[in-house]
Every structure is written in C-alpha cells, then in structure tokens.
C-alpha cells in the first residue's frame, strides 16, 4: 500500500536532485518515508536521497519498491503549480502510480525493479570539510562553466578555493574562513571534477541554504544538503578527474 498527499515542491525537489544523474530509479517506500540510491550510467556519480513521512501532508505506506521513469514523472509534475497539492496512490492491480493534481488524474506505468541494482554507499573518510551558502559557490560554478569543462576545488585550513582553467581564460573564487559557515581541515586537499556533474549537484540548493562539502586529494567529493523543508536529506558522491601529467 502507498497513499500520500504532498506539496508539489517536495516532489519537484526529488526530481531536480535525481533526474540529472539517472532516468530510471527504484523508490524504496516504507512506513517512515521514501528513499532512493542510484549511480549514473557512466559510474561517475551517486545520489542517496531520503524524505521522511513528516514531509507529506498525508502518508500511509507499507514496505515496497516502485520503479519510476523520472523523465515521465518530471513531465507530470510540470503540470503542477507552486503550492499545488499532489496525491499519489499505488494501484497494485495495474502496477501504476496514480497521480492527482487538482482535477487532473494521470496514471503512470511503473518499471520492473527486478533488474535494478542496489548500490552500496562507500564508507569514505575525507580529511577536509566545509559548509557554505549555496549562493557563494553557485556564482563560481556558473563562471567556470564558460571557460572549462572541469574545475578544481581546494581546501586549506584558512580558506576554500574554486578554480577553472580554459585555453585562454581562468576563473578563481577564494572564500576565507570567516565567509564560510564551517571549515574543518588540518592540511591542504585538492581534487578536480567535471563541471557538468558538480553544477547539477548544487543546482537544487537555493540562496542562503547551506551545502556541506567533504574532499580529499584526488578523492571523490561528498556533497550534502537538506530538502523538503529539512525533512529530507541528499548525499551525492562524485568521482574525481585525475590530472594527466
């Protein structure tokens, strides 16, 4: 059984977080909420997302899995306006998800979850951690997109730095410790990442909301933030690009 009523923004948030990485996901439904974990087809990035039952206006569920086509679901949610209530119901007989937006009823066929993997979240111990406002980093990422396809992130005990180098142009964003919410680093850590992936990871976070970033030297990066008015949490992992000598 799965019956829920929720603000459209919560569902759009889940789509914004997931769809840039994967098109098909397995939603794990439980009495306590919904979660998913997926790896992109290139095995460069992973998303781990959980939204508690408290994020919903109404929520009744038993343990089950739903295979969702995120493109299709995103198309349905684009029919909703900000503040709309959306009802979700699983129809076991037809294996469809019934989505109600106002007077509109859309029945969406589900994907078989049998062949879908259950990726394990690697246990990473990364030496440097920073917490900063989304607006502080998104400006640097937008600037970098114009000059290169990758960016370097560097954390030292005094500051956080984002830099990108193209054929002719460069971008540099340096944030001292006093402009960051938190900085925890005993030594210098630096890694190189794909701008496309990193940009998609921070895009769902707006304005003053905090983003937590953990990095090491040529290690994967861990990006974390809350969604659904802090009743949901997202963790991304992104593999580094190793610089050729």
CA distance 106 to 62: 22
Please check the confidence at residue 243 and state whether its pLDDT lies above 70. Answer: no
pTM as predicted: 0.94
Mean pLDDT of 183-191: 95
Q: pLDDT for 94-149, tens place per residue?
A: 999 999 999 999 999 999 999 888 899 898 999 999 999 999 999 999 999 999 99
Q: pLDDT for 202-217, tens place per residue?
A: 999 989 999 999 999 9
Please check the confidence at residue 231 and state whether its pLDDT lies above 80. Answer: yes
Question: Rounded to whole angstroms, what are the CA distances from 224 to 3, 27, 72, 98?
Answer: 28, 19, 26, 31
Share of the chain above pLDDT 70, in %: 99
pLDDT for the residue 93 = 95
| Structure tokens, 158 | 């005094």
pLDDT for the residue 59 = 98
| Residue labelled with tokens 């923004």 | 9
CA 216 to chain centre: 20
pLDDT for the residue 236 = 98
pLDDT-derived band of residue 5, with 50, 70 and 90 as boundaries? very high
Please tell me the CATH code under which domain 128-238 is placed: 3.70.10.10
pLDDT-derived band of residue 244, with 50, 70 and 90 as boundaries? low
Q: How many helices (H) and strands (E) does the chain have?
A: 4, 18
Please check the confidence at residue 195 and state whether its pLDDT lies above 80. Answer: yes
pLDDT for the residue 245 = 42
Q: Which CATH class is domain 2-109?
A: alpha beta
Mean pLDDT of 20-49: 96
Domain boundaries in the chain?
2-109, 128-238
């Amino acid at each position: 059984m799965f019956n829920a009523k929720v603000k459209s923004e919560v569902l759009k948030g889940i789509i914004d977080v997931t769809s840039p990485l994967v098109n098909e996901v397995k939603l794990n439904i439980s009495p306590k909420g919904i979660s998913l974990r997926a790896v992109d087809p290139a095995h460069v990035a992973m998303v781990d997302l959980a939204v508690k039952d408290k994020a919903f206006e109404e929520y009744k569920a038993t343990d089950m899995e739903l295979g969702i086509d995120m493109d299709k679901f995103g198309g349905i949610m684009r029919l909703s306006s900000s503040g709309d209530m959306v009802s979700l119901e699983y129809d076991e007989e037809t294996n469809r998800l019934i989505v109600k937006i106002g007077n509109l009823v859309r029945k969406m066929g589900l994907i078989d979850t049998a062949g879908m993997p259950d990726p394990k979240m690697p246990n990473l111990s990364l030496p440097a951690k920073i917490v900063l406002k989304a607006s502080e980093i998104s400006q640097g990422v937008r600037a970098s997109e114009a000059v290169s396809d990758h960016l370097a992130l560097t954390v030292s005990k005094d500051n956080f730095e984002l830099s990108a180098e193209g054929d002719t142009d460069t971008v540099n964003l340096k944030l001292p410790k006093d402009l960051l919410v938190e900085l925890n680093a005993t030594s210098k850590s630096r890694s190189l990442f794909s701008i496309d992936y990193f940009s998609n990871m921070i895009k769902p976070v707006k304005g003053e909301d905090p983003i937590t970033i953990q990095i090491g030297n040529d290690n994967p990066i861990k990006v974390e933030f809350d969604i659904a008015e802090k009743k949901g949490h997202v963790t991304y992992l992104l593999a580094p690009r190793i610089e050729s000598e």
